[in-house]
A and B are shown apart, each in its own frame.
Chain A
């Protein structure tokens, strides 16, 4: 591709990673464009973390992967000037002092703004002299977020960033991210099991199952393709004949999830809803653990 604007932030072709006999990633191809917030959603062991690790240059793989034009296997240090990463809260070294962490990142990262970081920290209870091991889980993630949001990076990768946090921290985490960090020049990839908390901020959805991509679409496309219909028992058989993805019962009515059926035909069956990502996920992943 010669057109710079058309260059995706992440471009994966035939990405494959095998651990023993299991395919963590099985010939996966995808593009992630700039300015998107992509939710990478999948059951445990589906290959989400492996995909993120490949993007971050933390794991070897087969196939072709370009992140911001770099090969993460051989150019991790250069790549990390443009990419930030928050794994779950446990990864900040426990011995380090907050002031040392800030000084270190300021020294090694050319795109780090110490003022931004300190301004952000000044709205928390974190003091410069504290060690990470003295902080609560929520404060550790605040510190990590402060470090990362002060970096003017093109791509932010979040791997279960709010795992183990209470709902106050979880909510404020994503709110800070949206209001103080995200703009059209930045791209965010996030994996999480708490789908409900991210679904309203996502622009793109990728479902991954058994090392393969089960669904990759923008949220708009998802809204167009999928619909939920609440159907009275008398029309349930008619609905089943239209091959729904999923059926569940609630208050004596059936709720059917359809993929790519005309709205007009569905409306005849009953009340239409936009399906939640969680419902879509459950329907797509049916039988994963069976």
Chain B
């Protein structure tokens, strides 16, 4: 490996160079390759798609590889489970609960539809597990999005380019609203298809046709309905996106502490005021729901509450029906959320917080460290 001192020996005064020509645009082969202007105008300038591409470059690990790894691990455990069941079955001759032969002979229409519902549940599970992954990825992505480049001073490079702070913040919010959830959803769907292939092959190896179960499930219906939840989830996530980006732009150090301790502090203060009999919000759970939304609503589908639970969605009619998964995501029910003020109050609060993030992005460069 040569290093740059070599050129001292040559007495060169221009930049040290190497004979390798790895750059296409040498002095003679110039062809105008300037980036063509994307069809975006207005306050965001023409650079918004490229800004979002930059977010993807920087966070490929979280946006792309995290969901790949999560779903990959589920698939590996599925295969391992099948293999160990086979090994156990072969070595012991003991029937575990049911026999595949019984299944083959005595399966009824109701059983098929139950199996179909189980597959719907599995499809939802792939989406749900990656959604939890998306939560963790986005939480730390957003907290660092307007802070990390100030800490390592690369903000001085970004700010030396003709890109408005509004466009910068917008690109980060849109990455969290669209890019990360859509990528995770595509990967989860691909993983579910692989899962179906594995299950079909396994059943086939035992002479069992899994296709009726797949036909009894609703893969395309589920797919379409889950796609329709993405815009609702993006709107629902706005308060958390705004909240996390605001602290990321505002703090001089430790964005995590500010973003997490303030909602916790509000809850504790309210509880304490209640104990003192001073004026406070009487409904602790309602307040916890609001505070929780500032932190957790970036998880796709977090507006969905478990059956019987009241903690998060105080006004939300959506709940998961385990007996008929596909009906849970009926578009009319999902888009019923759009009629609830809860969603829109949160969206407006989120936009206000984003405006705050833009304000501080224009003014804060230094960090404490």
Q: Which of A59, A103, A110, A142 contacts B162 (CB 8 A)?
A: A110
Contact B26 A118 (CB under 8 A): yes
Task: For chain A, residues 187 to 206, give those with C-beta under 8 angstroms from any C-beta of chain B.
Answer: none
Most buried by A among B35, B57, B165, B167: B35
| B93 contacts partner chain A, Cβ-Cβ < 8 Å | no
By a CB distance below 8 angstroms, the chain A residues around B27 are 119, 122
Judge if B58 is at the interface, Cβ distance under 8 Å: yes
From B16-24, B198-206, B313-321, the one touching the partner chain is B16-24
B47 and A168 contacting across the interface, CB-CB below 8 Å: no
B167 to chain A, nearest CB (A): 8
B153 within 8 A of A: yes
In the complex, whether A68 has a CB less than 8 A from a CB of chain B is: no
CA–CA, A124 to B51, complex, Å?
Answer: 28
Most B CB within 10 A of own CB, among A87, A106, A107, A109: A107
CB within 8 A of A121: which of B23, B54, B162?
B23
Is B95 on the interface with A (CB-CB < 8 A)? no
Question: Contact: A125 with B4, CB < 8 Å?
Answer: yes
Contact A108 B161 (CB under 8 A): yes
Q: How far is the CA of A208 from the CA of B111 in the complex (A)?
A: 85
Contact A119:B30 (CB < 8 A) given known A58-B159, A125-B18 = yes
B1-36 vs A, CB cutoff 8 Å, 1 = contact: the mask equals: 011110110000111111011111111001111110
Task: Check A113 against B4 for contact (C-beta < 8 Å).
Answer: no
Is there a chain A Cβ closer than 8 Å to B115's Cβ?
Answer: no
With A122-B21, A127-B22, A171-B13 as given contacts, are A108 and B162 in contact (CB-CB < 8 Å)? yes
Q: Are B4 and A169 touching (Cβ within 8 A)?
A: yes
Considering the chains assembled together, what is the distance between the CA atoms of A60 and B365 in angstroms? Answer: 11
Are A168 and B26 CB-contacts (below 8 A) given A93-B152, A108-B161, A108-B163? no
Measured in the bound complex, the distance between the Cα atoms of B26 and A57 in whole Å is 35
Report if B45 contacts A (CB, 8 A). yes
Interface class of chain B by DSSP: loop
Q: Is B164 interfacial (CB 8 A cutoff)?
A: yes
In the bound complex, residues from chain A placing their C-beta under 8 Å from that of B17 are: 122-125
Q: CB within 8 A of A175: which of B14, B23, B32?
A: B14
A44 at interface (Cβ–Cβ under 8 A)? no
CB within 8 Å of A: which of B42-79? Answer: 45-47, 50-51, 53-54, 57-58
Q: Which chain A residues lie closer than 8 Å to B167 at the CB level?
A: 77
B149 at the interface (CB under 8 A from A): yes
Contact B30 A115 (CB under 8 A): yes
Q: CA–CA, A261 to B45, complex, Å?
A: 57
Q: Is A112 close to B, CB under 8 A?
A: yes
The smallest C-beta distance from A102 to any residue of chain B, in angstroms, reads 9
User: Interface size of B by Cβ–Cβ distance < 8 Å?
Assistant: 54
B209 within 8 A of A: no
Report if A117 contacts B (CB, 8 A): yes
Complex CA gap A127/B18 in Å reads 10
The closest CB in chain B to the CB of A167 belongs to B8
Q: How many whole Å from B252's CB to the nearest CB in chain A?
A: 14
Query: Which residues from chain A contact B54 at a C-beta distance below 8 Å?
Result: 100, 104
A238 at the interface (CB under 8 A from B): no
Question: Contact between B15 and A93 (Cβ–Cβ < 8 Å)?
Answer: no
Contact with B along A65-85 (1 / 0, CB 8 A): 000000000001111110111
Contact of B153 with A90 in the complex, beta carbons under 8 Å: yes
Q: Give which listed residue, A114, A121, A138, contacts B34 with CB less than 8 A.
A: A114
Q: What is the CA–CA distance of A237 and B72 in the complex, to the nearest angstrom?
A: 88
CB distance from A85 to the nearest CB of B (A): 4
Question: Across the interface, do B34 and A112 meet the contact criterion of CB distance under 8 Å?
Answer: yes
- Which residue of A57, A87, A115, A172 contacts B153 across the interface (Cβ within 8 Å)? A87
B157 part of interface (Cβ distance < 8 Å): yes
Minimum C-beta distance from B175 to chain A (A):
15
- Docked pose: A96 CA to B50 CA in angstroms: 14
Q: Do A175 and B4 touch (CB < 8 A)?
A: no
**Which chain B positions have C-beta within 8 A of A92?**
154, 157
Given A57-B159, A100-B57, output 4 extra A-B contacts at Cβ < 8 Å: A83-B160, A84-B160, A95-B57, A122-B27
Q: List residues of B whose CB falls within 8 A of some A CB.
A: 2-5, 7-8, 13-18, 20-27, 30-35, 45-47, 50-51, 53-54, 57-58, 149, 152-165, 167, 362-363, 365
Q: 8 nearest interchain CB pairs?
A: A118-B25, A107-B35, A115-B30, A93-B154, A85-B160, A122-B23, A77-B164, A107-B50
Q: List 5 A–B pairs whose Cβ atoms lie within 8 Å, in order of A's numbering.
A: A56-B159, A58-B156, A77-B162, A118-B26, A176-B15
